[in-house]
Chains A and B, each alone.
Chain A
């Protein structure tokens, strides 16, 4: 399974927005990948419109979810 698909599946299964760290933990548990690559995948997926991100001012984290 491609990293893109792992991220999208993780967001679908969670059923709620996930933080950057939460997505990273899920991907790392499923794929051998450098930790620093995961945010790059998130940003690219967001640019293509497959996922969306929102900055949560309360928790000061980015929350990633499906559109």
Chain B
């Protein structure tokens, strides 16, 4: 049985008091807090096993290499990839998508080819494609949302053509919380032999994601949103695709041979991990994956639905609160973007922080095209993860009610 109170005990940050009050952390969409297991693993690696990987013959280096490789294997298991060859460690989701843009798209897309995106993408799944579109004269197209904040699936069918070479879609909107039917979108992509990229930044930490089931060609996600340190993220791609791609960056640790004018690449995934990697962070990502898998991704998903349902039902009872995105809990994740009538979203965030130590995000959430589509300058956003409890929701709702009633 999933017990968020027991989980919460693993997170030292919740022992901290600010202005004498506990922290109500509701910004896990931006980044997650870290359990003691991850923090200790990071510290233990630096204290007992630290060395550079893949080159040293001494014990420490071999130990570090094995630990770093094992972390790739753990991530592969988490997403059901075919081994660590399909798991490239990068800095974050943004770098993973840029890797695809510069290694794959730049070399494979030509004038008049089309990339299909959606209006709800994070900037990290828009700006790289704009850069590629300018370099290669490629056309960008966007699928819109309906009034409930869901993608208009029929627009995919209308906008996909033989010119479509890539469909890049977020699995879960970082603003609306909408969970997109990526399996269906992937099927549509492959019907026209387009490649399919899924931005898993807001899904992989929160629910089971199986790359074979959703049949994606690329999956990008960040470690720091799933209990791991900052500076480590993942690009999954099928082995045959990665084998055909040129490296994004050249340097040490990614070659098998170097001559004066030509080089040969190392095997997968090292071909894409040039230079000294974020070794400790990668190993700690493996520990974070252990932690999540022990809890069970399906258990996490079910718990987040439960706490989100509770939060949504309570928020909607407060006068003047408008919540964006689907109201059907089955169609959304634990991300609740909202506005309070006649109150600036940044003022809402400042009020909650100052008076209640509630940490929420306010603004456009790096999704300006979506904000413009919704006719908003921004929203306040509360998001939930494994360590949040119903009492957090109660304080959030009490604080917003007091804000509305103030004066």
Contact = CB atoms under 8 A, between A and B. Distances in A.
Interface residues of B, number: 18
Tell me whether chain A's interface is mostly helix, strand or loop, or mixed: mixed
Given A20-B347, A21-B344, A39-B362, A60 B407 contact: yes
A60 B350 contact: no
Nearest to B406: A57
Given A35-B377, A39-B362, A20 B406 contact: no
Of B344, B346, B363, B404, the most chain A CB neighbours within 10 A belong to B346
B403 interface: yes
Given A35-B363, A35-B377, A36-B364, A55 B346 contact: no
Interface in B349-395: 349-351, 354, 362-364, 377-378
Of B344, B347, B362, the most chain A CB neighbours within 10 A belong to B347
A39 B407 contact: no
B94 to A, nearest CB: 16
B343 interface: yes
B342 interface: yes
Nearest to A19: B344
Contacts of A59: 407
B364 A61 contact: no
Interface in A33-49: 35-36, 39, 43
A40 B60 CA distance: 44
A53 B346 CA distance: 13
25 contacts: A19-B347, A20-B344, A20-B346, A20-B347, A35-B364, A35-B377, A36-B363, A36-B378, A39-B346, A39-B349, A39-B350, A39-B362, A43-B350, A53-B350, A56-B407, A57-B406, A60-B342, A60-B343, A60-B347, A60-B403, A60-B406, A61-B343, A61-B344, A61-B347, A62-B350
